[in-house]
Chain A
């Protein structure tokens, strides 16, 4: 069986995006996306765990029987997250101070268990690793998008404290878009997260529809039906 990496990439980033299509991982998503920087940090940490769990579960899948797979997956993911948490606390302590709160939250992200169950346990190591990476990137993309939208609407800034997360070089990202902005509290609070997420989901559907219509029109043009052209 050949592996369609392009398909995996497309699925992870857009077609089967964890948030946009599967609506998973909403707990960490809504909890941390008050700012774009927090979203980015959470996304990167989640991606790491997804790649590692994809790798581990795919390489151990021959030993794990269907009857006990769920507890074993949960165990593997929990151990991974704990190890990531401990090593970050020890060796990248400053980053851990910023992200420390979110890392245990990764365990609550059912998307990781979902990918373990529906992909890594059925596929070879390399595709699973790649799937974890692409799903993680797709998740990070939504986190940053949602974080940025809420940050701009709620606080009038973008990528505040990025230097804390990425190092001093990232301070160019930090910007105040609306000076003297009084803030819009609702957007920062969890209900605002749901509202903005709703708009993002609607936007995704809209883009999908436009793409589908274009494809449809292109197909009709090819089969020679000029009246379909707009």
Chain B
């Protein structure tokens, strides 16, 4: 059917370039307008997601502020910037949460760690991971209660040398067949607790006193 309309014009290099250029322009226009249309909605959805995961590790009754309003930024031990969300009750910082990362069996395990002002764990949840389905994914709250074992613990309770999986002489259950995953989670949480100890002063500074810390978005 296209043979009838086939002319030398269509065979010219210029026509091919024109077609390619036209489609690329069209594609660009479509993608830009798609992005413009969805950008704000997606940002809003992600905000809700963040709020939701924060609420899982920071019980609502502990604070009365908007957690996302003024997070503080600090560099962790490796110099990676961390965004720390802080809940305040009155003038005091009452709860904190930030993301800690464990080196799992298959890439990073992103966790959100919530602490109270004394450095006790309020809760830990897995945000994303790529561990082996059926074995390593027991770290998800949807699949197993394992992650709840950390609630209420802190750096002194249990003592530092017990902050390991049971295979390494610690107190945390390592599920059979997938030791690397719980080991990574335990190490990540312990790292988060050390971070809290090292930066306790800055972290617990009431927001009003140090407005220059209230950067963020």
Q: CB within 8 Å of B: which of A84-134?
A: 86-87, 89-91, 93, 97
Please state if A93 and B45 are interface contacts (CB–CB under 8 Å).
yes
Please state if A82 and B31 are interface contacts (CB–CB under 8 Å).
yes
Please state if B30 and A83 are interface contacts (CB–CB under 8 Å).
yes
Complex CA–CA separation, A9 to B5 (angstroms) = 31
List A contacts of B16 (CB < 8 A).
Answer: 65, 67-68
Q: Which residues of A contact B (CB under 8 A)?
A: 34, 61-65, 67-68, 71-72, 75-76, 78-79, 82-83, 86-87, 89-91, 93, 97, 154-155, 183, 185, 188-189
Give the total number of A-B pairs whose CB atoms are below 8 A apart: 66
Q: Which residues of B contact A (CB under 8 A)?
A: 2, 5, 10-11, 15-16, 19-20, 23-24, 27, 30-31, 34-35, 37-38, 41-42, 45, 49, 132-135, 177
Given A65-B15, A65-B16, A82-B31, are A183 and B24 neighbors across the interface (CB < 8 Å)?
no
List B contacts of A34 (CB < 8 A).
Answer: 133
Please state if A83 and B23 are interface contacts (CB–CB under 8 Å).
no
Please state if A183 and B134 are interface contacts (CB–CB under 8 Å).
yes
Q: Is the interface of B mostly helix, strand, loop or mixed?
A: helix
Return the chain A residue nearest B41 by Cβ: A90
Please state if A90 and B45 are interface contacts (CB–CB under 8 Å).
yes
Please state if A62 and B42 are interface contacts (CB–CB under 8 Å).
no
Of the residues A62, A67, A82, A91, contact of B41 by C-beta under 8 Å: A91
Complex CA–CA separation, A61 to B19 (angstroms) = 11
Of the residues A79, A90, A188, contact of B31 by C-beta under 8 Å: A79
Given A90-B45, A155-B134, are A63 and B19 neighbors across the interface (CB < 8 Å)?
yes
List A contacts of B23 (CB < 8 A).
Answer: 72, 75-76
* Min distance, Cβ B181 to any Cβ of chain A, angstroms: 13
A-B residue pairs in contact (CB < 8 Å), sample of 19: A62-B2, A65-B10, A65-B11, A65-B15, A65-B19, A71-B20, A86-B34, A86-B37, A86-B38, A86-B42, A87-B34, A89-B38, A89-B42, A93-B49, A97-B49, A154-B134, A185-B134, A188-B132, A189-B132
